Amino acid sequence: MTETKQIQLAELVSALSYALDLTEGQPAGHSVRACWIGIHIGMELGFDPSALTELYYAILLKDVGCSSNAARICQLYVTDDLTMKAAAKYLDHTPPQFLWYLISHAGMKKNLVERFRIIIETALKTGEIAHELTDTRCHRGANIARTMRFSEAVAQGITDLDEHWDGRGQPAGKREMEISLIARVALVAQVADVFFTGGGATKAMSEVERRSGTWFDPRVVEALQTVARDQAFWHSLADPLLQQRLVAYETIKASHPVDEDYLDDIAAAFAEVIDAKTPFTSGHSDRVALFSDLIAGELGLDAAHRRRIRRAALLHDIGKLGVSNSILDKPGSLEPAEWEEVKRHPSLGEVILRRIGAFSELAEVAAQHHERLDGTGYPRQLSGDAIGLESRIVAVADVFDALTADRPYRKAMSAERAIEIIDGMVPAGLDASCVAGLKIALKSLDSEARAA
């Protein structure tokens, strides 16, 4: 791996926002388009460059806490969280509309009696459920933004995203000027993009105007109305180079070079997003990073190489943000179609990381960490030397942590038993030198623990 080239924070965050679109069930580029809309509203409202920069990052990161409620959505509604979330973006939460939403999505694989029970139970607890899900998402998202070194204004914009002008939003029931102005703009931008993508500019403006004074600050809606008179504004949302235009715009306003330490922090923050997707992977990415680093050390790799392997391990499962928790948390055997969905996550991860200059080399690890040396892995059935050393290291660490942690379909096993299984995967599946490195490192850790 080579040294990281200098990268602007704008490029990094806008590219990572595509991962957040996945976990919200949104079309690729939703956060980027919402950001473009929001920035134009901000300019119309007279935001200064500093405020525009904070708005920029708050919108790109507005969904950074969304993975944390995915498992709960599946549990409550007994359905696919990605579909449920995508459909929820079209709701205005009037009782008839919300009831139809439940009828259309809740408990779809259950029999009629069970579905009816789920619908009634969730309908009766609508307010309580909305508060729980939104509170989890908003506060976790704000904390992750702080971990990524963003300002309190950005964090507050994420916290207040689902508050409504009339005080009927979540999670705190704030109203009017109590709500962060960044959040007021971000919510309008989010809804405008959802309806623009689904039905065009006329539909987007109709929906935004209909919610003015209830969901939305009327002054923010008026600013969008002014911006929307220019047809070039709407055409730009379909520009395949919109992300690059957005990055160039922000860079002019405020240059934020990202150094190696900051890249570590961002990788660690997104590992939190990934692992929050399911309760069964809490801490998984951090542990895989630790085991990968230990293996790399035993193989004699230098400090810079080990650092990049740790980042690769932290982000190896980023593609799982695009897989429903109804599959990830399923306690029994997967259906063939469900297994195919799981097998997509390495490719999804590769696509996301390839967008980011500083992380593009890590994309290979995301793509290959489930490949096996004999060609029986996925998604591309690579074999032998076609699988990179970094991928082989992370593969061993990933298998070891998976075996020694609880999973929906089985309890955790001991480290000794896990090593026995891993030994049986050499040399057909896993690299012998990487497995040997793990065993030596584990023995060293055990000796240190006994001596302490």
Catalytic residue numbers, as ranges: 320
Angle made by CA atoms 36, 39, 41, in degrees to the nearest 5: 110
User: What is the C-alpha separation between 339 and 328, in angstroms, rounded?
Assistant: 10
8, 247 Cβ separation under 8 angstroms: yes
Categorise residue 182: left if φ over 0, alpha if ψ from -120 to 50, beta otherwise. Answer: alpha
The string of DSSP letters for 407-447 reads BTTB----HHHHHHHHHTTTTTTS-HHHHHHHHHHHHHHHH
End-to-end CA separation in angstroms for the chain: 36
CA distance 136 to 44: 32
Alpha-carbon dihedral angle through residues 105, 129, 16, 395, given to the nearest 10 degrees: -80
- d(C-alpha 395, C-alpha 233), whole Å: 46
